[in-house]
A and B are shown apart, each in its own frame.
Chain A
């Protein structure tokens, strides 16, 4: 289960396909629409491994109420509701508020940086590719502080 952030940030870093080996990747319709607003050719560029999945009425109402309460944007709210509906193994988001709230509902949550390091740990990326992906993320629209980048590269060296 993924929201807009990782699709966008991993895409900017040129490693969006890292999501595919992580399993079946689902996004709700609101995230698909957000991606269309970021990328005019999204309908052509949307990866074949990405499933756009509709929310059932109960979770859809839940997502709407979180948005109306001002707790989350609609895409994030739908992503959390869909993760609960599908009993997803992971929710991938780079939004701190979404992550905090999703965790309070018992979801396992990770972000783009975690996915890059996990891919290196699972040998989906070489050390060199992972280092380039981390540099790519640091230059993307995702906020990665110098100390986090340093810690991530140290972890990568530890994996080697």
Chain B
């Protein structure tokens, strides 16, 4: 598993600690992981479409780089 250190604004960090203390999450790392998964879930269709457009551009570049 990859670990990253992130600086959070004080207000968000306090809110995060409050959610953990209230028992919503095991710890702050779990809260951040779940928030990220939720974000990806909600943006999945948008991301999917963006990736498909990227693939279209990629195929066109591959075509240009291939001799006829």
Contacts and interface: CB of A to CB of B under 8 A. Distances in A.
Interface of A: 62, 65-66, 69-71, 94, 96-97, 99-100, 104-105, 109-111, 113-114, 117-118, 120-122, 143-145, 147-148, 151-152, 155, 158-159
Given A65-B1, A113-B52, A143-B48, A70 B60 contact: no
B13 interface: no
A105 B37 CA distance: 17
Interface residues of B, number: 26
Given A70-B33, A70-B37, A111 B62 contact: no
Contacts of B49: 145, 147-148
A110 B37 contact: no
Contacts of B62: 118, 121-122
A123 to B, nearest CB: 8
B30 to A, nearest CB: 8
B3 to A, nearest CB: 11
Contact of B56 (A96, A117, A143, A145): A117
Contacts of B47: 96-97, 99-100
